[in-house]
């Protein structure tokens, strides 16, 4: 079958079973858009800014587990997409980005809308390709999908010059790929796994720390079973929420900079730590020197060898697919004649219970002013904990993570690594595309939402009835919090003046807008909004301007050096 | 500590910049980097001389392995190896200095490969220390220009690095 490069591109997407492409047309991708026009298998979603195309495709991948696909034009199309690519890269999200490029004879001549796409994106992709000849196009796209989804996943970009999309070649889609330079490890080392299980059985104060890798590796079920069988406490990272059920008594909450008192203390004082699909990053363990000050033996399971012993040296490294490794551990646990010391474990739980009794997420209720935490708690109740929740970045993100208890994986979608404001709304669109029947809530703030607010238009065009929970405190809340705590109350440029009337704004896009100013109206407003199944509802909650996120570990400090509330300031 | 890393990578446009970009993005040192295609034109062989603690070298090796274009990475410090570098030095060679420079070059097994009335161009091969020693042995003010390739390394004995 002889096809143009553009037709080959679309055929490849069909072969890969791609449902949706999120994108924005332009000069360099006109042939590809023409090929899209002539078929109906792959649906294109027209966003209003390329950053949103990337976030939507990214969230589609996070929610569904399939590879997200975005399509952008050369030059500014790509540069607008870079934030979204970097967001996906930091959180290891499988994505394929197809970008147009100026025709091959024009490359390097500063042509109109030319940028060095491969150069600009190199540090924030798992891999990228510039296709110089139409004969290489199909095999390159095949490789892109393979690399994006295998091993530690990540975004892969394929840059297609305009003439390549126009030229004709015989189309053959390769059935499989082999790359001598890329052979990700899948199976963990059996000897190491055996050693790990022995170590777990010897533990007196064990702790299990699970991250986003458990979700990406579809290992939540295996993790949950193992944790329950062992009877050990378990914490999840921001990226790992939902890997272990948030309402389970063995769950000690999220850990890290805004983690719970009990999770952070258990992390610091445990004697054996099992880290699964997590990477000991600065927001999780704080200062590594402080973390070292307490001796503990560490088992680290991760698919990426470079994540192991990067910030913290570990005793038992296990490189492998998290689900397979956990299953193998489970078998050994089942067969093990020794069990962890029951009395020691009981004492450990007693200790954790004492830490838990601090009730670190308690906050002052108010009958006159809306507390942001209260909104998230009510959101949890109204949606019965069963919504897909996206967020932007800042205080609202932390409150959503702390107060919405995620019982299932792939329900909490946020930019954990890069911390990208503007992620929430397009992410909600991507999640809603993946699951049209699901309840999708975007928890955001008045600053973040304005970074991709134009997507209200996309929601209208594609009937994506996402619910927007805007925690409006008229401040860049997390910036203000740091300025209060670390910069002597000097609120430099963190006040949001001249805000739009979000109700009217939502209405102008054809959506429903509501402003909520009284705590008593929070729950009724949420109930009413979520009852409107087929409409976007923008809920503008006027929240307490001075509320801070606690607990808090200041950047660079130790995990146990927590501020628990205003009294610690 | 100084380490010498040998890499086999796909001989593709952009592979070098992926390696160089990795070192600059993560703040790793590069003392020298050499690269050229091998007898198999689809593969390039690269030698990188770097330095860092054991932890840093371990991370460098892992990060290099993670690059999709990199086929193999080997730290030559893990075994016996041979390291060679080529240097071309143009020196001022006038009057009585001409004889002295010729003698010094001979001692270091260097070869004079270009001559004018006032200059010699000397070719020298050896491990880094030897080249440094030669530069120390002659009068610094005589040096007009030096060109060094950076080290290339290979394992000793029958051990080979190949796909």
Each residue's pLDDT expressed in tens, for chain B with a length of 163 residues: 999 999 999 999 899 999 999 999 999 999 999 999 999 999 999 999 999 999 999 999 999 999 999 999 999 999 999 999 999 999 999 999 999 999 999 999 999 999 999 999 999 999 999 999 999 999 999 999 999 999 999 999 999 999 8
Residues 46-85 of B with CB under 8 A from A: 55, 58-59, 62-63, 65-66, 68-71
In this prediction, residue A567 carries a pLDDT of: 87
In this prediction, residue A569 carries a pLDDT of: 82
Q: Tokens for A507, please give them.
A: 């209405």
**Contact state of B68 with A313 under an 8 Å Cβ cutoff:** no
State chain A's mean pLDDT as an integer: 97
> What percent of chain A has a predicted confidence (pLDDT) above 70?
100
Cβ neighbours of A180 in B, within 8 Å: 71, 163
CA distances from A12 to A5, A138, A271 (A): 10, 7, 51
> Which residue of chain B is at minimal alpha-carbon distance from A184?
B66
Strand residue runs (E) in A280-387: 297-302, 316-319
- Pairing state of beta strands A206-210 and A272-276? parallel
User: Which residues, given as ranges, of chain A have pLDDT below 50?
Assistant: none
Min distance B53 CA to chain A CA atoms (Å): 12
pLDDT in tens, B150-163: 999 999 999 999 98
Min distance B139 CA to chain A CA atoms (Å): 44
Residues 6+ apart with CB under 8 A from A383: A439, A441, A530
Number of helical H runs and strand E runs in chain B? 4, 9
CB A514 within 8 A of CB A529: yes
Choosing from A95, A429, A451, A478, which is the catalytic residue?
A478
**Contact state of B66 with A123 under an 8 Å Cβ cutoff:** no
- For residue A47, count other CB atoms closer than 10 A to its CB: 28
CA distances from B147 to A52, B94, B121, B150 (A): 50, 21, 11, 9
**Contact state of B18 with A180 under an 8 Å Cβ cutoff:** no
Which residues on adjacent β-strands are paired with residue A251?
A234
pTM: predicted TM-score of the whole model, two decimal places: 0.96
Min distance B48 CA to chain A CA atoms (Å): 19
CA distances from B54 to A25, B66, B81 (A): 49, 18, 19
Buried b vs exposed e over A358-378: b needs ≥16 C-beta within 10 Å?
eebbebeeeeebbbbbbbbbb
Phi, psi of A237 (to 5 degrees): -80, 175
Alpha-carbon distance of B61 to B57, in angstroms, equals 6
Choosing from A7, A16, A50, A446, which is the catalytic residue?
A50
Cβ neighbours of B25 in A, within 8 Å: 123
Closest residue to B21, CB basis, from A123, A127, A306? A123
Closest residue to B68, CB basis, from A119, A147, A310? A147
Closest residue to B17, CB basis, from A122, A127, A309? A122
pLDDT in tens, A62-113: 999 999 999 999 999 999 999 999 999 999 999 999 999 999 999 999 999 9
**Contact state of A181 with B10 under an 8 Å Cβ cutoff:** yes
A vs B, Cβ pairs < 8 A, gives: 36
Would residue A250 show up in a list of annotated catalytic residues for this protein?
A: no
Residues 6+ apart with CB under 8 A from A314: A275, A298, A299, A300, A308
Closest residue to A122, CB basis, from B18, B62, B163? B18
**Contact state of B14 with A130 under an 8 Å Cβ cutoff:** yes
> Which residue of chain B is at minimal alpha-carbon distance from A153?
B66
Task: Tell me the three state secondary structure of residue A445.
Answer: strand
Closest residue to B62, CB basis, from A122, A126, A305? A305
**Contact state of B68 with A306 under an 8 Å Cβ cutoff:** no
Say what angle helices A342-356 and A261-269 make with each other, to 10 degrees: 140
Q: Tokens for A517, please give them.
A: 């100013």
Would residue A162 show up in a list of annotated catalytic residues for this protein?
A: yes
Would residue A502 show up in a list of annotated catalytic residues for this protein?
A: no
Choosing from A39, A112, A460, A504, which is the catalytic residue?
A112
Sign of CA dihedral B129, B134, B135, B140: positive
> Which residue of chain B is at minimal alpha-carbon distance from A305?
B62
Task: Tell me the three state secondary structure of residue A429.
Answer: helix
Closest residue to B69, CB basis, from A118, A181, A304? A181
Buried b vs exposed e over A233-252: b needs ≥16 C-beta within 10 Å?
bbbbbbbbbbbbbbeeebbb
Closest residue to B71, CB basis, from A181, A306, A310? A181
Alpha-carbon distance of A527 to A513, in angstroms, equals 14
DSSP A213-238: HHHHTT-HHHHHHHHHHHT--EEE-T
Min distance B68 CA to chain A CA atoms (Å): 6
Cβ neighbours of B17 in A, within 8 Å: 119, 122
In this prediction, residue A412 carries a pLDDT of: 98
In this prediction, residue A67 carries a pLDDT of: 98
pLDDT in tens, A283-294: 999 999 999 888
Sign of CA dihedral A100, A416, A182, B4: positive
Cβ neighbours of A310 in B, within 8 Å: 59
Alpha-carbon distance of A264 to A271, in angstroms, equals 14
In this prediction, residue A31 carries a pLDDT of: 98
Which residues on adjacent β-strands are paired with residue A472?
A542
Angular region, A381: left φ>0, alpha ψ -120 to 50, beta rest: alpha
Buried b vs exposed e over A171-182: b needs ≥16 C-beta within 10 Å?
beeeeeeeeebb
Interface membership of B154 toward A (CB under 8 Å): no
**Contact state of A180 with B71 under an 8 Å Cβ cutoff:** yes
Cβ neighbours of B62 in A, within 8 Å: 305-306
pLDDT in tens, A341-383: 999 999 999 999 999 999 999 999 999 999 999 999 999 999 9
CB B93 within 8 A of CB B119: yes
**Contact state of B25 with A119 under an 8 Å Cβ cutoff:** no
CB A129 within 8 A of CB A158: yes
Would residue A113 show up in a list of annotated catalytic residues for this protein?
A: yes
Question: Longest Cα pair distance anywhere in chain B, in angstroms?
Answer: 57
Cβ neighbours of A179 in B, within 8 Å: 68
In this prediction, residue A399 carries a pLDDT of: 98
**Contact state of B25 with A123 under an 8 Å Cβ cutoff:** yes
Alpha-carbon distance of A455 to A513, in angstroms, equals 15
- Pairing state of beta strands A155-161 and A95-101? parallel
CA distances from A39 to A4, A13, A14, A36, A504 (A): 14, 12, 10, 6, 38
Residue in the block written with tokens 């996309």: A458
Would residue A50 show up in a list of annotated catalytic residues for this protein?
A: yes
């Amino acid at each position: 079958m002889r096809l143009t490069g553009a037709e080959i591109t679309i055929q490849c997407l069909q072969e890969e079973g791609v449902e949706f492409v999120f994108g924005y047309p332009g000069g360099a991708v006109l042939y590809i858009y023409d090929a899209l026009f002539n078929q109906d298998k792959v649906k294109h979603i027209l966003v209003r800014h390329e950053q949103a195309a990337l976030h939507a495709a990214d969230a589609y991948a996070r929610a569904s587990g399939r590879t997200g696909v975005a399509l952008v034009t050369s030059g500014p199309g790509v540069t607008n997409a870079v934030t979204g690519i970097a967001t996906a890269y930091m959180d290891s999200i499988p994505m394929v980005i197809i970008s147009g490029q100026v025709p091959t004879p024009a490359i390097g001549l500063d042509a109109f809308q030319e940028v060095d796409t491969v150069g600009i994106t190199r540090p924030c992709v798992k891999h990228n390709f510039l296709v110089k000849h139409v004969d290489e196009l199909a095999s390159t796209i095949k490789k892109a999908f393979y690399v994006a989804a295998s091993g530690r996943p990540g975004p892969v970009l394929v840059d297609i010059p305009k003439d390549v999309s126009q030229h004709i070649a015989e189309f053959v889609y390769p059935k499989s790929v082999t790359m001598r330079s890329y052979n990700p490890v899948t199976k963990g080392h059996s000897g190491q796994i055996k050693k790990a299980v022995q170590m777990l059985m010897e533990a007196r104060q064990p702790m299990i720390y699970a991250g986003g890798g458990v979700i990406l590796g579809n290992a939540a079920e295996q993790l949950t079973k193992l944790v329950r069988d062992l009877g050990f406490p378990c914490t999840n990272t921001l990226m790992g929420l939902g890997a272990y059920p948030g309402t389970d008594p063995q769950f000690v909450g999220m850990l890290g900079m805004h983690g719970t008192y009990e999770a952070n203390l258990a992390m610091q004082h445990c004697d054996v730590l099992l880290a699964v699909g997590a990477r000991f990053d600065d927001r999780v363990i704080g200062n590594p020197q402080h973390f070292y000050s307490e001796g503990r033996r560490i088992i680290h399971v991760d698919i990426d060898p470079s994540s192991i012993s990067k910030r913290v040296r570990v005793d038992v490294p296990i490189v492998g697919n998290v689900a397979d490794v956990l299953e193998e551990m489970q078998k050994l646990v089942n067969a093990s004649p020794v069990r962890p010391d029951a009395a020691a474990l009981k004492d450990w739980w007693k200790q954790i219970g004492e830490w838990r009794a601090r009730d670190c997420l308690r906050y002052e209720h108010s009958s006159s002013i809306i507390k942001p935490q209260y909104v998230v708690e009510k959101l949890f109740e109204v949606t019965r904990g069963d919504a897909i929740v996206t967020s932007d970045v800042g205080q609202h993100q932390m409150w959503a993570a702390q107060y919405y208890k995620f019982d299932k994986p792939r329900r909490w979608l946020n930019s954990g690594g890069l911390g990208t404001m503007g992620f929430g709304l397009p992410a909600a669109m991507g999640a809603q595309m993946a699951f049209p029947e699901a309840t999708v809530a975007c928890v955001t703030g008045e600053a973040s939402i304005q970074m991709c607010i134009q997507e209200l238009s996309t929601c209208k065009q594609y009937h994506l009835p996402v619910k927007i929970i805007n925690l409006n405190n008229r401040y860049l809340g997390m910036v203000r919090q740091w300025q209060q705590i670390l910069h002597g109350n000097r609120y430099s440029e963190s006040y949001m003046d001249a805000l739009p009337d979000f109700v009217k704004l939502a209405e102008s896009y054809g959506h429903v807008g509501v402003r909520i100013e009284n705590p008593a109206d929070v729950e009724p407003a949420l109930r009413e909004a979520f009852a409107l199944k087929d409409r976007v509802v923008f809920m503008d909650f006027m929240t307490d301007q001075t509320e801070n996120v606690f607990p808090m570990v200041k950047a660079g400090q130790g995990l146990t050096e927590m501020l628990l509330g205003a009294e610690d300031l | 500590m100084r380490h010498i890393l040998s890499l086999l990578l796909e001989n593709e446009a952009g592979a070098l910049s992926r390696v160089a970009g990795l070192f600059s993005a993560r703040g790793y040192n590069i003392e020298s980097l050499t690269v050229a295609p091998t007898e198999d034109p689809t593969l390039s062989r690269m030698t990188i001389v770097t330095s860092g603690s054991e932890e840093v070298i371990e991370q460098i090796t892992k990060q290099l392995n993670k690059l999709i274009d990199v086929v193999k990475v080997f730290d030559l410090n893990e075994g016996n190896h041979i390291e060679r570098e080529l240097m071309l030095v143009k020196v001022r060679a006038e009057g009585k200095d001409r004889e002295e420079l010729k003698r010094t070059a001979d001692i270091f097994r260097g070869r004079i490969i270009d001559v004018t009335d006032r200059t010699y161009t000397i070719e020298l091969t050896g491990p880094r220390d030897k080249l440094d020693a030669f530069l120390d042995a002659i009068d610094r003010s005589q040096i007009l220009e030096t060109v060094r390739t950076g080290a290339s390394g290979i394992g000793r004995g029958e051990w080979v690095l190949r796909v």
